[in-house]
Amino acid sequence: MGWDAISLREALEQLRLFGDDRTMLECKRSFLRAPHDLARTICAFANMPMGGDILLGVDQSLNFAATGVAHPAQVEKAVADQARTLIEPAPQLSFTHISIDEAVVIAVTVAPLSPMLKPARIKGEAYLRQADGNYVMGPNDLRILEVAALHASEQEFYDQQPVPGSGLRDMDESITAEALRTARSRSRRLSTIAEDKRLLEVLGATVNGQLTVAGNYALGFLPQGKVPALGVTAAVQLPREHAARTRNLTHFDGPLPALLDDVVDWLRANLQADLRYAESGHVEEIPEIPPAALREAVANALVHRDLGPHTRGVGKRIEVRITRQAVIITSPGGLRGVSVSQLTSTTLSKAAVNQRLYELAKLVRTSEGHPVIEGEGGGIREMIRACLDAGLAAPRLIDTGTEFRVIFPRTRPDSPHRVSARPTVRAVEANVEDELRQLGKNVPQVFHSMQLGAEADYAPALSLHEIAERTQLSPGQARYALKALERKGWIVMRGQRGSQRTTYQIRRE
């Protein structure tokens, strides 16, 4: 990217917001000299489809402060020497000196090697980026780079390969019947094929009586029975201070539409939601991340994941993780025939990694009757637009060449205005709603805030401070409304008035 003081400040703000280096960007303090381990990072960036950037003179331990480089010209020369003498083949580097906060930061832009020259190596080891670190590439990663370097005519279509030991008995009857009906209704030529078995062959779902990888994945009753890697694993990743590493670890199975339904439902259940008051006075649930954006990301991961033996054959699944900072959806294999910049541009760009699977995915529907994909392209832009329209940061798209990640930055999960998704808010009859209004201007707002997270036999006990935070009222305003509700007998106070330990709770019959 082009660097200047403005873009540097924006990058530092992003780093502070999300708390770590990014896959395509690394920061190094390097006040007096070039870091000795910089060659591995340069090597890893050279093996990435889009290269990467290194900021020298930024201290992560000081909240990504621009501490600067004392001797920019000397440091630049040392970095260039490291790349030239240690990396084979050496990538092209460009340097930008940026003055910021009375310091000079050096931005090192590493250009990617052409696919024919990859991988770059240091003493025989090839490196690649993963999250904010570098790792030595294994045989399967190297094979993915080799496949990417092949001419289109040399590449294999892995989704059209037969699944050994499979047959029509392994198909989901209802999903298959729906797909065949849709195919016949959309194509005059396909409508002339009366025999289902013949139509499945024409669609590429079967070959010589066996299911293809695409047919098994899209139409199989349990695709993972034959190919375990076609599942999805999801978990909430806990902070390091927790004894457990994850919670709600779930392994999803089933055909394409079932996977899409189940993974999106899991995300909505494990993310959070804003509860806002509409002009009518009723509570509205605003999901933390727009469901349409999540659905698009999951659908793309399912349909465009790599299905070659170097991923499918070694059990690489789609991985979904929720951290405090982000939702991360990772699919095996990088982009093919299109770049991240093309996906996000205003010009329509689409390239199916699995062409036969892509066509079948347009024929199958989720439980709500929606096709898994529309097949029109532009879904990534709609995903980004949905997040921006919701006031969120745009999701980050990262193509490492061996995997593709979509990262949705989260708003602060500990915001006082956030509660667990699917909050239970007890329905209030219209006449009761009127009675609440008669008790005082802020009474309905306070009462509804106390219902958040309530169940039929449970109501949370909240302090005055918590209620004030939930409603954005002053403590005095919240206290006045609580008194009115207490007099009416709708809530109970536990503790002494004026004590910080005092809590308020909705009275249960």
Q: Per-residue pLDDT for the chain (509 aa), expressed as one digit of tens each?
A: 679 888 898 888 878 776 554 778 888 887 667 777 799 999 999 999 889 999 999 988 888 889 999 889 999 999 999 999 999 999 999 999 999 988 999 999 999 999 889 999 999 999 988 766 888 998 888 888 887 777 555 567 899 999 999 999 999 999 999 999 999 999 999 999 999 999 999 999 999 999 999 999 999 999 999 999 999 999 998 877 677 788 889 999 999 999 999 999 999 999 987 777 666 767 777 888 999 999 999 999 999 999 988 888 888 999 999 998 889 999 998 887 777 877 776 565 667 789 999 999 999 998 888 889 887 767 888 898 898 888 888 888 888 888 999 999 886 444 444 444 333 333 334 456 678 888 888 888 888 878 765 544 456 778 888 888 777 788 888 888 998 898 888 888 887 776 777 888 887 65
H/E stretch holding 200 = helix 196-202
* Last-in-domain residue among 105, 139, 154: 154
CA R_g for the chain: 27
In this structure, is residue 211 part of a structural domain?
no
Rounded-to-integer distance, Cα 177 and Cα 122, Å: 54
Domain CATH code at residue 487: 1.10.10.10
**Cα–Cα distances in angstroms (integers) from residue 209 to residues 173, 195, 205, 256, 449, in the given order:** 16, 14, 10, 21, 59
Measured distance between the N- and C-terminal CA atoms of the chain, rounded to whole angstroms = 63
Q: Supply the pLDDT for residue 259.
A: 96
Residue 292 lies in a domain: no
* Domain contains 429: yes
Among 131, 154, 177, residue at a domain's last position:
154
Whether the bond between 119 and the residue before it is cis, its omega within 30 degrees of 0, is yes
Distance CA 343, CA 296 (A): 13
Q: Which of 506, 504, 415, 507 is nearest to 463 (CA)?
A: 504
Q: How many domains are contained in the chain?
A: 2
Specify the CATH number for the domain of residue 39: 3.30.950.30
143's enclosing H/E stretch is: helix 139-149
Task: Supply the pLDDT for residue 348.
Answer: 59
Supply the range of the domain harboring residue 494: 425-506
Q: Is residue 28 part of a domain?
A: yes
Please report, for residues 88, 141, 343, the alpha-carbon distance to residue 147 in angstroms, rounded to integers and kept in the order given.
Answer: 20, 10, 21
Is residue 62 in a domain?
A: yes
Cα 234 to Cα 395: distance, rounded to the nearest angstrom: 19
pLDDT score at 414? 41
Examine residue 89 and say whether the peptide bond preceding it is cis (omega within 30 degrees of 0). yes
CA–CA distance, 213 with 233 (Å, rounded to integer): 20
Contacts of 330 (CB under 8 A, 6+ apart): 301, 318, 319, 320, 321, 403, 404, 405
Domain membership of residue 138 (yes or no) is yes
Q: Which of 136, 154, 172 is the last residue of a domain?
A: 154
Q: Are 93 and 109 in contact (CB under 8 A)?
A: yes
Residue 168 in domain: no
DSSP H helix total and E strand total for the chain: 18, 23
Q: Is residue 321 part of a domain?
A: no
Cβ neighbors of 326 (< 8 A, separation 6 or more) are 18, 407, 408, 409, 410
Q: How many CB atoms lie within 10 A of CB 290?
A: 19
Q: Which letter does DSSP use for residue 229 in this model?
A: G
Distances (CA, A) of 121 to 87, 108, 131, 147: 6, 19, 20, 18
Statement: the pTM of the whole predicted model exceeds 0.75: no
